[in-house]
Amino acid sequence: MRGEGGLPGRAGLPGQVVYRAGRPGCAGRDGRGARRILSPYRGSTELIRWRDAGANRYLRALAIMLGTAILLAVPAFLPDKQVEVLADGKVFSVSTSARRVEQALARAGIRLSARDVVVPDPGSSLRPGMRVHVYRCVPLSITADGITRELSSPGPTVAAVLQEAGVRVGPDDEVIPGPDAEVHPGMAIRVVRITYGEETAQQEIPHRVERRDDERLPYGLARVLQRGRPGLQQVTYRVKYADGQEVAREPVGYQVVRQPVTEVVAVGRASSISRGGEVIRFRRAMEVTATAYYPGPESCGPNATGYTYTGVKAGRGIVAVDPRVIPLGTRLYIEGYGYGLAADIGGAIKGNKIDLCYDTLAEAWKWGKRRVIVYILP
């Protein structure tokens, strides 16, 4: 059997003639690749299609089913991953073959609310040794600019809460607790606004004291030769304010308005004096307030006995002192009075005060009250 052009035809069904496609006037493959067969029994052309594309789709579907079955079966044979889940203040150790973080959470029995935050993301791939943090949405408060707001936030840190709440934090502002602190239920977050300003104030400059030895001045005494005077300066301070209240200041500039004047003091070095041609040596001298008394009842009251606190008979040369300043029994020389002995005390004699005893009331009245120099004798 031959086709067009004398070429042999392909055998088909009994009584059919198959012609090669592509030759004019002959039956063959149509435009989609199906073979066309002529049937002499029916007297008409029947189109029988064998689709190569259909076979390909069948093979693809079979491959997909096999791949899915393998993927579903593989986890059962994979080794478990050891991970930790930190949630609600507890640490859950989870052994699982899960592939994603959310599956590990389900394995640990962790339920999430809408605003809880999971780090890493629930859809992340699960790796051995991974630590999964669950940050719960907790109630807390923020105080800033004099206003306290109650809100709920998962954090996880104070900085994240402030950012979520839209609270601006300046470079100098202080956040209590710190920005990196983890939030917990009932936490009170405070933002302290820090500002700075400048102030000026006048301040004294202490004057120096210059001491000069004076061989003519008795040892123990000092005389001011030149009065000192403090200087004056203007100080500029940088002042720190927390929420409008001053909390600290530091000087940042000085300007001298008046220079200080040094005080000059003469310091006595002499250890002897000459009185009436007599040289009197002493250990030290001191300036005191001296009064006088008569040992009778006119000066000492109705209970006067005429004897001193130390039991010595009172009379000229006996001096009442404060034992804390001049010990009892000390020999003295008093300018304008002469020699004396510290042998009595008095209720009004305190500190640098002495009371001189006279034999008559008239002499005591005549002395009165004076500032004198007392020399402490060896």
Best-predicted range by mean pLDDT (83-87, 100-104, 114-118, 242-246): 242-246
Give the domain CATH number at 321. 2.40.40.10
As for how many domains the chain has, the answer is: 5
Backbone angles phi, psi at 77, to 5 degrees: -105, -5
The answer on 260 and 233 residing in a single domain is: yes
Instruction: Give a yes or no: residue 274 inside a domain.
Output: no
Higher pLDDT, 296 or 43: 296
Higher pLDDT, 80 or 52: 80
CA distance 372 to 378: 19
Work out the number of other CB atoms within 10 angstroms of the CB of residue 218.
19
Structural domain of 354 = 279-376
The answer on 226 and 302 residing in a single domain is: no
The answer on 349 and 296 residing in a single domain is: yes
Q: Is the pLDDT of residue 57 over 50?
A: yes
Q: Is the pLDDT of residue 146 over 50?
A: yes
The answer on 118 and 103 residing in a single domain is: yes
The answer on 101 and 61 residing in a single domain is: no
Instruction: Give a yes or no: residue 86 inside a domain.
Output: yes
Give the domain CATH number at 176. 3.10.20.90
Give the domain CATH number at 206. 2.20.230.10
Picking from 35, 58, 76, the residue at the C-terminal end of a domain is: 76
Instruction: Give a yes or no: residue 216 inside a domain.
Output: yes
Give the domain CATH number at 131. 3.10.20
The answer on 208 and 175 residing in a single domain is: no
Q: How far is CA 188 from the centre of its chain?
A: 17
- Cross-strand bridge partners of residue 82: 95
Instruction: Give a yes or no: residue 90 inside a domain.
Output: yes
The answer on 125 and 114 residing in a single domain is: yes
Picking from 76, 105, 122, the residue at the C-terminal end of a domain is: 76
Strands of the 138-144 sheet, one edge to the other: 147-153, 138-144, 187-192, 174-176
Picking from 267, 287, 317, the residue at the C-terminal end of a domain is: 267
CA angle (66, 67, 69) in 5-degree steps = 65
Q: Mark 54-64 as b/e (b = at least 16 C-beta within 10 Å).
A: eeeeeeeeeee
pLDDT band at 221 (very low <50, low <70, confident <90, very high): very high
- Map residue 161 onto helix, strand or coil: helix
pTM across the whole model: 0.50
The answer on 334 and 303 residing in a single domain is: yes
What are the tokens at 164? Answer: 């979520």
pLDDT band at 366 (very low <50, low <70, confident <90, very high): very high
The answer on 260 and 207 residing in a single domain is: yes
The answer on 94 and 41 residing in a single domain is: no
Instruction: Give a yes or no: residue 272 inside a domain.
Output: no
The answer on 64 and 96 residing in a single domain is: no
